[in-house]
Structure 1
């Protein structure tokens, strides 16, 4: 069954989304360059070209500012997985969607992946930043369940689907974190994701 079309965003909604994304990218870049401790909400707002009041209209804390960027990567992956041909086996579908989400492409330049790498490298030293990362990962895991349920013909709240969502999301997270900790080029993230998915064997990749 085809996915229902989403209603078009109004001009105001598009402007708000663009402003939020610009703040998120600015925060990620500054955190990558200076670390979270060396970056203030005022720094982010000034560099993004918005007032501090506007910043706090969108985000409660400076660390929250990167949540849209982190969530967007997971969202792209899950949407690509959802639109992969239904007859594609799960493992190839996971690999194909991960490559589509992680490899540099128009609208997702290598520079933004470099900021993501710097951002993930800054996380071990900042508990608040780690909390944002883990929150977005928890949300991604929940979003994966209905997609995986549709591909496996299992109930979304079943133990098998919950385990599968947890395992595949963890594989993607670990791959991205391992890429961020190293020095390979942006395509290395997709290579690591493929390796991680291939390590998921048995009933996790072929549910009954």
Structure 2
């Protein structure tokens, strides 16, 4: 049986997330080039020395926040019924990308700002692509588990890539517009569903 995280571990996790939120908010508002590690540390209420204990660069600071979104996606797929994951993935996309309240809308808005900031910052783009790559790797194991013993490893890899890229492309394309996250037409959910439908169309059914 796994033991609960210690108080010290929880405090470290809270500090790490506070820094990540501060970094994401400032990158989204000002662009990464105009934000310093010192400014992020001050906004998070920590010293610069503490900042660098958690993150090697200012761009790396957003990784935990991006990772939370990826983990939510993985957990939702892992909890779906065994069988062909393609039946569950579009519903999960809607669940994750259609905001249920103000907090979710705000999260999508800072995500849009962050993705726009990445256009001019290669280091920030590298963090985004690393998070997506790690998510795809974890999804392979989940897809294989859902499909069972007859799963084809190559088909599993294709489906995991299609699911990961669908959300990435949906968010990136939406971020180029000023569309509401839960309006009609070009919402992140609608774009991600469309991307998944097209990307997964060549993956053979079981």
TM-score by length of 2: 0.89
State whether structure 2 residue 98 is matched by structure 1 residue 96: no
Superposition RMSD in Å: 2.2
Q: 1:195 to 1:35 in 2, by over 3 A?
A: same
State whether structure 2 residue 41 is matched by structure 1 residue 45: yes
CA distance in 2, matches of 1:59, 1:18: 14
* Greater displacement, 95-104 / 73-82: 95-104
1:97-116 correspondence to structure 2 within 5 Å: 97-105=92-100, 108-116=103-111
Q: What is the aligned partner in structure 2 of residue 13 from structure 1? A: 9
Q: What is the aligned partner in structure 2 of residue 189 from structure 1? A: 188
CA distance in 1, matches of 2:149, 2:28: 41
Which segments of 5 or more consecutive residues in structure 2 lack a partner in the other structure?
Answer: none
Q: 1:57 to 1:67 in 2, by over 3 A?
A: same
Equivalences, count = 202
Query: In the TM superposition, what whole-angstrom CA distance separates every residue of 1:26-60 from its partner, at most 9, and x where no partner exists?
Result: 10110011111000000000011111111111100
CA contact (8 A) 1:145 1:156 kept: no
1:1-150 correspondence to structure 2 within 5 Å: 7-86=3-82, 89-105=84-100, 108-150=103-145
Query: In the TM superposition, what whole-angstrom CA distance separates every residue of 1:175-203 from its partner, at most 9, and x where no partner exists?
Result: 11111111222232122222222223445
Consecutive aligned runs of 4 or more in structure 1 exceeding 6 Å deviation: none
CA distance in 1, matches of 2:190, 2:142: 23
CA contact (8 A) 2:94 2:189 kept: yes
CA contact (8 A) 2:163 2:196 kept: yes
Q: Once the 2 structures are TM-superposed, how far is the Cα of residue 172 of structure 1 from its aligned partner?
A: 1.5
Which segments of 5 or more consecutive residues in structure 1 lack a partner in the other structure?
Answer: none
* Greater displacement, 69-78 / 149-158: 149-158
Q: Once the 2 structures are TM-superposed, how far is the Cα of residue 106 of structure 1 from its aligned partner?
A: 6.5
CA contact (8 A) 2:174 2:191 kept: yes
